[in-house]
Chain A
Amino acid sequence: EVQLVESGGGLVQPGRSLRLSCAASGFTFDDYAMHWVRQAPGKGLEWVSGISWNSGSIGYADSVKGRFTISRDNAKNSLYLQMNSLRAEDTALYYCAKDSGYDLRPSINWFDPWGQGTLVTVSS
């Protein structure tokens, strides 16, 4: 069974940093691109970032570009999101999701499955 388990969320002050992790199991991790998608409380889904199987292709939403860094460790079957210069508007439940393909090019395909999410709250 494919399983994605996020961790690392919590309460953090504006301007500080946080690192999220996603532990993957049940599939060959380095065969697939992976993504982070977030959902602010009571709001809709927002794609945050994606990374290809070999980290050769990476994409970011404009809202996080320059502040967030996505990475992966295929040896550890893990996906990461380093979040710097956090703002109140980054408060959200952060989901890890598996792509159906291995690269972001020629396209990002679809997200399946999703983890249960880890909550990030940015507040003083």
Chain B
Amino acid sequence: QSALTQPPSASGSPGQSVTISCTGTSSDVGGYNYVSWYQQHPGKAPKLMIYEVSKRPSGVPDRFSGSKSGNTASLTVSGLQAEDEADYYCSSYAGSNNSLFGTGTKVTVL
């Protein structure tokens, strides 16, 4: 049970786009469409941003989008805003009643 791999950091200027990758294996990310993404601001609980690879919960801006290719999932934040500065984590079902999180990515708005 190894954590999914994410880049430690990503950044962009306001209005630009940033894409975060989440790499696993065929036993987790590549094997299921239950990939989700969470946003966490300092001192706060995580918040669901994307579920089932590319679906957005109500209330989440359409600037947030998700996709998957093979064993790698991605989260794209378009039109970056100051409030998007946070830590982002991916998660995937890993079979046999187990779930995995990614290592986390700190997004900085320059």
Contact = CB atoms under 8 A, between A and B. Distances in A.
B97 A44 contact: no
Given A47-B99, A95-B45, A110 B91 contact: yes
Given A47-B101, A95-B45, A109 B51 contact: yes
B28 to A, nearest CB: 11
Interface of B: 1, 3, 32, 34, 36, 38, 40, 45-48, 51-52, 57, 89, 91, 93, 96-104
B97 A59 contact: yes
B91 A111 contact: yes
A112 B57 CA distance: 10
Contacts of B40: 45
A109 B96 CA distance: 13
Interface in A24-39: 35, 37
Contacts of B52: 109-110
A33 to B, nearest CB: 10
B45 A115 contact: yes
Nearest to A51: B97
Interface hub of A50, A59, A110 (most chain B Cβ within 10 A)? A110
A3 to B, nearest CB: 12
Contact of B48 (A50, A105, A113): A113
12 contacts: A37-B101, A45-B38, A46-B101, A107-B32, A108-B34, A108-B98, A110-B48, A111-B36, A111-B91, A113-B47, A114-B45, A115-B45
Given A37-B46, A112-B48, A114-B46, 8 more contacts: A44-B3, A45-B38, A62-B1, A108-B99, A109-B52, A111-B38, A111-B91, A112-B51
Given A61-B1, A107-B32, A110-B51, A47 B89 contact: no
Contacts of A37: 46, 101
A45 B33 CA distance: 20
Nearest to A112: B48
A59 to B, nearest CB: 3
